[in-house]
Amino acid sequence: MSLTTLDGRYELGMLLGQGGMADVFRAVDTVLGRDVAVKIFRGGSGSVDRARFLAECHLSAGLHHPNLVTVYDAGTDNGRDYLVMRLIEGKTLADKLDWGALEASWVCEVGAVVAQALAHVHASGVVHRDIKPSNILLGQGEVPYLADFGIALPSGARRLTKGGQFLGTIAYTAPEQIQGAQATAAADVYAFGLVLLEALTGRVEFDGPESAAAVAKLNRAPEIPDTIPDGVAAVLKAMLSEDPARRPTAASCAELLRAAAAGEAPEVTIPPVTTPEPITERITERITRRRRVRPAYLVAGGAAIAAAVLLFPASVLDAGSPRSENGKAGEPTTTTVPPQAPPAVPSTRPLQPAPPGPPITGQPPAPITREVVLVPQPQPQQPKDRKPPKNPPDNGGKGGDGGGKRPGPGDKGGPGREP
């Protein structure tokens, strides 16, 4: 870095940390006479880099909380965008984790403070998107501060990324983000849950190359050891739920962690999973209801219905069958068409309803099969000068289902430590 002074005001000192997009320096504000942290962006003059810089400036300046790093100033000097922030004297949570696992009571106390700061961020309509140990600063007395809003975005905003670029740290990214979903407050809660788990175990839960970490995250849930106290484990299990809708809010996490730190048993309430009624059950119910009353005038059309069933592709019937956990198809949804009697001799007698069937009991209907039994029916002679009707057109359609550089635990950065 050739610059030593920014805008004739900020005298740069030692390098405090480096990240993927910026360098953080200790500096002196010569106007106000105080030490500050200056984050200088390495990005070029591209529209995406510039937009990201402006987004961080505006988002950070609009957040006011005692456990968030305060932004003092921003500007551009000699083509270099910079951000001036409060200097936090201390270290990062990543530095502390270099010495191994931490006491559960300390993790819960610090975690409750960070969760409360994160709740303020979410209440302001912002998603952090990069919660990790190196972005949690520990100041004097190990007071925690949540830092680095370099890739934060307003909730629901368009992501500021270049083609094929993924922003965030795979080891702490929520599984739905890996599948392409938009980052939400629930994704921040998941990432923070992994940070707390790492603090309690002393190891990165999804470690290794980014590709391996991503695959592992999609194929298994985080492992919570039995050595973690039950109350804390219950909080972590809720925060690390695969379903974003079942994760508690950051504000709820703060309350639960405070209770756990006080030795109380936190009451973790996880919303139930609502399972939709299987399609096969609805089909069975409708078919059963139709079989209970069968007037005689329906019998004459039975042969035509059976013929239509024969023409219906078997593959379509199989397409809706549920699949078991081992990947094999479950019990197929099939239909039995009873044999039909030959057409009756025309009669002038009025049609009478069929005799009532057996009484309906509480027993479930008989299993439906796809066997079709037909009695050959005499076909009427067609006039020689009339061509047989063509097969009806196939109305079926095609269908389908829709379906950064990862730092290690000791990665340094943030304002004062890690950008």
> How many angstroms separate the CA atoms of 285 and 360, rounded?
13
Per-residue DSSP letters for 266-331? -----PPP-PPPPHHHHHHHHHHHHHH---GGGGGGHHHHHHHHHHS-HHHHHHT--B-TTSSB-S
**Residue 275, strand partner residues:** none
Question: In the sheet that 22-29 helps form, which strands lie side by side, from edge to edge?
Answer: 5-6, 10-18, 22-29, 34-41, 80-86, 71-77
Query: Per the structure block, which two tokens stand in for 42?
Result: 């390495």
CB-count exposure of residue 22 (10 Å: 0-12, 13-18, 19+): buried
Binding residues for ATP: 39
Q: Which of 130, 148, 188, 411 is catalytic?
A: 130
> How many angstroms separate the CA atoms of 337 and 304, rounded?
11
Question: In the sheet that 91-92 helps form, which strands lie side by side, from edge to edge?
Answer: 91-92, 136-138, 144-146
DSSP state of 95: H
Binding residues: 39
Question: 23 catalytic, yes or no?
Answer: no
> How many angstroms separate the CA atoms of 191 and 133, rounded?
10
What are the catalytic residues?
130
